[in-house]
Structure 1
């Protein structure tokens, strides 16, 4: 019986109460030791849109509109070629007696004094045509390089030479109109003379009002 008492009895099952905390420690995830991620901030920027400055507006207008110097120089070059060629042709044809009218010129008999005056005016157109073309070409080159004031001055000279050539052409038309009052060709030349004078006047006004474009010297 003593030996039976010494026999170990089976261990009783462990009882764990859910109300009590377990005896072994559990890892607890604590947020105290961790850094909080930065919250994104929305920044409101008040931007005021200012209107464009007058200088920038003027530069944009100059880019959109063709400058007056360019138009005047092209007009001067065109007239220099046309009227110089016409003057040379008239001087060559007037060496021989006029017999037949053509589409280019009308055969009109002039007195010796009138013919001499017309020849002098045609030579004057040739003398005006050379500086007129040179001044216009130089003005275009200087305007392309930014020398707008000097280009404006040369354009003014070229336009003045153009107006002088048109004045001489008007004098020639007056001589022929006096010799042949009923000629339709001469009447057309006289009307074209008024148109050319009006275009020259508009060119002078454009140069004086619009100026040199505000570029560098």
Structure 2
């Protein structure tokens, strides 16, 4: 699986070019499945925010669903255990990209495991995962207490660990003063490993363990020497 981990989605030409590079063909030729699951775990989200994501009504344009896909469907992870992998796995295998929305990262991580999708992802080398905010954080080893909203049955703020770094999203977001660089650096002291603070104009791609940053904004690598 190829990863494009973002804070604000496909928000500028640099990130869009990185996505096209991962896909290996134009966006207009690619099928996408939107994954809204993380929304349901966050207290700041509601049914309207889920609808806006599915209907591609985010602003500015071309953030996720508005990128110009050949087709776009919905993959709701909480439904998958009730219908069986023989139905939903072909949907995933036939798509080019999964678009994972923001919300709560621990909730998304939990349902990635419970649905069985997490077990399948390593066997899908050509599939591209585009995460936005929690949709990116769910693939990291842990998120830190600052982003811990939903408690899984096992407790804790650990997530899937498909990459070896953590992410502090929405760096310097105008309406969120707690997302300053100083706050990110304090957060990083609680993270036992490397971490990136990224703004909404930045994305991190991961392919076969190779990590690249694609940005028209502001980002910082924190804890780079932590083993």
Superposed pair shares fold, TM > 0.5: no
Q: Which has the larger share of strand?
A: 2
Relative contact order (alpha carbons < 8 A, sep ≥ 6): 1 or 2 greater? 2
Larger gyration radius, structure 1 or structure 2: 1
Tell me the TM-score normalized by structure 1: 0.23
Q: Which has the larger share of helix?
A: 1
